[in-house]
Amino acid sequence: MKILVTAKRVTDPDMKIKIKPDGSGIDLSSMSFKVNPFDEIAIEAALRIKEDKGGEVVVVGIGAEKSQTEIRYGLSMGADRGIHVSENGYMDSEVAARILQSIVTKEQPDLVILGKQAVDDDNNQVAQLLAEYLGWGQVCFASKIEINENKAMVEREVDGGIEVLEMDLPGIISADLRLNEPRYPALPAIMKAKKKELKTITPGELGVDVRPNVIIKNMAVPPQRGVGRIVSDVPDLIRLLKEEAKVI
């Protein structure tokens, strides 16, 4: 079984984000980076399937040259080879999905597992767009995956319980937080990953137009919350919500 997984380079979610003075974007000068946590969970899921069923795990990363660091991390976890799509500019979810569509068409995997969203933009769109473009089935927000021959049995958490879905392969799965606990690569695995295949290609070679449909024109820090107030009773609360907050 061939499984394709993603490894997006994102800013460390534990660091405080700063906006550039002109509002044109995020100041990355002092930021550290890591694999998108949900993609790390997706890689772990793919590796567990490989250990159970056999096959190959291919890690794909899209971005500047430094994105190879996150792909190598996926290789050190145990993936077999990597693909780096070199692109320095801003990409929206549409562009990312089109790039992955082209790679999937070339690689012909049995399964694609992505993180449900990237923690930098939180769009939660690429898995759904990719499934639509490929015409494949999809299950999003997976909390458990079982593969039986050419079918995937997937559990996902919904309001009030667990939903169980069966999907024919090939298909798309997006990984939720409680799917697994990713392994931490040991030093020998990190050294071994440096020798694994990592192929670099460009969107042009894939025939993908990287001009985004969504353009970020300005960023701003949200205003600080005001001081809270203590109300005497429910009627007073309703009055304040209506007359001052103007939310009802």
pLDDT tens for 203-226 read 999 999 999 998 888 998 888 887
- Report yes or no on 242 lying in a domain: no
Residues 130 and 97: beta-carbon distance below 8 Å: yes
CA 215-221-226 angle, 5° bins: 140
3-state secondary structure of 227: coil
Q: Is residue 94 part of a domain?
A: yes
The residue among 120 and 73 whose pLDDT is bigger is 73
Other C-beta atoms within 10 Å of 158: how many? 10
Q: What is the pLDDT of residue 148?
A: 93
Residue 65's pLDDT is 96
Q: Does 98 map to a domain?
A: yes
CATH label of the domain that carries residue 193: 3.40.50.620
Average pLDDT over residues 181-208: 96
What pLDDT is attached to residue 61?
Answer: 98
Let me know: does 118 contact 8? Beta carbons within 8 Å: yes
Query: To the nearest whole number, what is the mean pLDDT of the chain?
Result: 94
Overall average pLDDT of the 3-31 stretch:
90
Q: Measure the CA–CA gap between 1 and 56, rounded to whole angstroms.
A: 6
As for how many domains the chain has, the answer is: 1
**Residue 72, token pair as written in the block:** 């190598």
| Residue 42: per-residue pLDDT | 98
pLDDT for the residue numbered 16: 87
Give the model's pLDDT for residue 192. 95
Question: What is the per-residue pLDDT for 230?
Answer: 86
Quick check: 69 and 62 in contact, CB under 8 A? no
Q: Look at residue 241 and tell me if it is in a domain.
A: no
Give the tokens for residue 67: 């994105």
C-beta separation of 4 from 103 below 8 A: yes
Say which amino acid occupies 142.
Answer: A
- Domain limits for position 168: 2-223
Residue 164 is assigned to a structural domain of this protein: yes
| Whether residue 33 has pLDDT greater than 80 | yes
- Phi-psi bin for 63: left (phi > 0), alpha (psi -120 to 50), beta? left
Residues 6+ apart with CB under 8 A from 37: 13, 115, 119, 177
The pLDDT assigned to 173 comes to 98
> What pLDDT shows up at residue 93?
95
Helices (H), the chain: 37-53, 68-77, 93-107, 126-134, 187-193, 203-206, 234-243
pLDDT score of 211: 93
In a domain, 234, yes or no: no
β-pair type (137-148, 198-201): unpaired
Give CA–CA dist 86/149, Å, rounded: 35
Any domain includes 236: no
Kindly report, residue by residue over 42-64, the tens digit of the pLDDT.
Answer: 999 999 999 999 999 999 999 99
